Chains A and B, each alone.
Chain A
């Protein structure tokens, strides 16, 4: 009987955690955005967005370069090097851009968000805000949430663009694919709505999930060093799994039916 009880308890825990996470987000976003929050949000865009730029640009460049190298060796066998451009661009825009950005974001910015909020809780800064009649949901959670929602699609676009340039670097400048065909075949294959916009939509969904998990894990953490380290790990694990799972669902919805 004990294991049945265990299942029941786990379910209840999960449901109540989901409920708390929902309440937290609701409490943070219900407030009308105040002017005071704009500088705070800009500061958070700096923390989660600008500080993630380096890793995003470097990863994007290398992933584009590797794809061009791999793609070239396969495509030359069929005399189809011309398709290198669309291959690189489509993989980046549809999949790798949003997904890899979300995974890197979870590791770079998500874990930092969790640790920061967890420590603010442990050092009673959140409590002290509340006692100063300042709502920590609006003051701490909301700016970080909006910063995440803004930054991730921006990072994903930069990632894809840099990746395409990296593909150009290897494919055209190094391996000698014709520059004209790299761009023109890419241009005739890539569709603005279907590929670019869908990629941005994916990225927005990932941004919501990763930022939400990161903030909630910090906000709901047990305020001890062990609790915070656990929460940080969980942020990375949970948000990575959520991104990969959701990616399948979104891909099926966007590209599966035609």
Chain B
């Protein structure tokens, strides 16, 4: 085995690994949205978060503007508090904006659908650390079925 060819092939091997890493880094894995760039934090309190997870996306009209960075239980009233990390360039949402937990597709992942509210005088923009007042919880299938059956039986 001559040495030149060995070294050449090992070089090819290394380049292939770098190409694989680049593919994984740029096209496959998402490492940029939250960790890089300026962000600010909002909080939202829900009754029920369903299957929401840390790192679930926050979307406005389908565009991802941030991610869920942590989920805790409020120590006073035991309802879940979700911390949202939003990219700093989207910083002019009014206080009247609403957040709801939605599901993509029938069995898809859950995400936070963020709906910018109306702006009139006296309504300020949401700032770092604010709570979103208007929230609607995740739909839980069992509860829906329960309500459906309940309404059926009360009709009869």
Chain A residues near B (Cβ < 8 Å): 39, 42-43, 45-46, 49-50, 53, 78-80, 82-83, 89, 93, 151, 154, 157-158, 160-162, 164-165, 183, 186-193, 195-196
Contacts and interface: CB of A to CB of B under 8 A. Distances in A.
Given A80-B105, A157-B20, A188-B57, A46 B10 contact: yes
Given A46-B6, A157-B21, A186 B13 contact: no
Contact of B29 (A79, A158, A192): A192
Given A49-B13, A50-B13, A187-B29, A80 B106 contact: yes
A43 B9 CA distance: 10
Interface string B1-36: 101001101101110110111011101111100000
A158 B20 contact: yes
Contacts, number: 91
Interface string B107-134: 1110000000000000000000000000
Contacts of B29: 187, 190-192, 195-196
Contacts of B109: 189
A187 B23 CA distance: 11
B28 A187 contact: yes
A242 to B, nearest CB: 24
A209 to B, nearest CB: 21
Contacts of A187: 27-30
B28 A190 contact: yes
Contacts of A183: 27-28
Considering residues B24, B28, B29, which has the most beta carbons from chain A within 10 angstroms of its beta carbon?
Answer: B28
Given A158-B17, A161-B23, A79 B105 contact: yes
Interface residues of B, number: 30
Contacts of B10: 42, 45-46, 49-50
B55 interface: yes
A61 B28 CA distance: 16
A78 B106 CA distance: 7
A192 B9 CA distance: 29
A192 B14 CA distance: 20
Nearest to B17: A154
B9 A46 contact: yes
A234 to B, nearest CB: 28
Interface in B17-72: 17, 19-21, 23-25, 27-31, 55, 57, 64
A192 B27 CA distance: 11
A80 B107 CA distance: 8
A38 to B, nearest CB: 11
Contacts of A164: 23-24, 28
27 contacts: A42-B7, A45-B10, A46-B6, A46-B9, A49-B13, A50-B9, A50-B13, A78-B105, A78-B106, A80-B106, A83-B108, A89-B28, A93-B24, A151-B13, A154-B13, A154-B14, A160-B20, A161-B19, A161-B20, A162-B20, A164-B28, A165-B23, A187-B28, A192-B25, A192-B29, A193-B31, A195-B29
